Amino acid sequence: MNITEKILAKAAGLERVEPDQIVDVAVDRAFTHEKLGPLFFDKFRELALTVWDTDRAIIFADHGNPPSKVLDADLIVKTAQFAEDYGLKFYNGEGICHQLMPEKGYVLPGRVIVGTDSHTTTYGALGAFSTGLGSTEMAWVFNKGRIWMKVPRALLFKINGRLGTGVTGKDLALYIMSLIGAEGANYRAMEYRGSAVEAMSIDSRMSLCNMAVEAGAKNGIIEADEKVAEYLKGRTDEAYEAFRSDPDAVYEKTFEIDGGALQPTVALPGSSADSVPVGETLGVPFTRALLGTCTNGRMEDFRIAAGILKGRKIHPKVRLQVIPGSRSIFRQCIDEGITQIFLDAGAIWCNPNCGPCAGGHYGLLGKGEVCVSSSNRNMVGRMGDSSAKIYLASPATVAASAINGTITDPRDFL
Q: What is the pLDDT of residues 303-353, one digit of tens each?
A: 999 999 999 999 999 999 999 999 999 999 999 999 999 999 999 999 999
- C-alpha span between 388 and 156 (Å, rounded): 35
Last-in-domain residue among 215, 230, 258: 258
Output the pTM of the full model. 0.96
- Total domains, the chain: 2
- C-alpha span between 109 and 385 (Å, rounded): 40
Residue 277 and residue 234 share a domain: no
Calculated CA dihedral for residues 134, 140, 146, 151, nearest 10 degrees? -30
Residue 192 and residue 248 share a domain: yes
At 303 the pLDDT is 98
CB atoms under 10 Å from CB of 131, counted, come to 25
The DSSP secondary-structure symbol of 175 reads H
Residue 237 and residue 176 share a domain: yes
Residue 242 and residue 103 share a domain: yes
Last-in-domain residue among 227, 258, 289: 258
Low-confidence ranges of the chain (pLDDT < 50): none
At 64 the pLDDT is 86
Calculated CA dihedral for residues 26, 28, 32, 36, nearest 10 degrees? -20
Residue 85 and residue 125 share a domain: yes
Q: Are 355 and 293 in contact (CB under 8 A)?
A: yes
Last-in-domain residue among 241, 258, 275: 258
- C-alpha span between 377 and 354 (Å, rounded): 12
Residue 337 and residue 311 share a domain: yes
Q: Supply the range of the domain harboring residue 404.
A: 266-413
Residue 327 and residue 209 share a domain: no
Report strand pairing: 188-193 vs 57-61: unpaired
Residue 304 and residue 284 share a domain: yes
At 355 the pLDDT is 85
pLDDT tens figures, 258-310 = 999 999 999 999 999 999 999 999 999 999 999 999 999 999 999 999 999 99
Residue 407 and residue 279 share a domain: yes
The DSSP secondary-structure symbol of 277 reads E
- C-alpha span between 338 and 345 (Å, rounded): 11
CATH classification at residue 8: 3.30.499.10
Residue 107 and residue 224 share a domain: yes
- C-alpha span between 120 and 240 (Å, rounded): 20
The DSSP secondary-structure symbol of 413 reads G
- Cis status of the peptide bond prior to 66, with omega within 30 of 0: yes
In the sheet with 57-61, reading across from the earlier edge strand, the strands are: 89-92, 57-61, 29-33, 112-115, 129-132
CB atoms under 10 Å from CB of 178, counted, come to 18
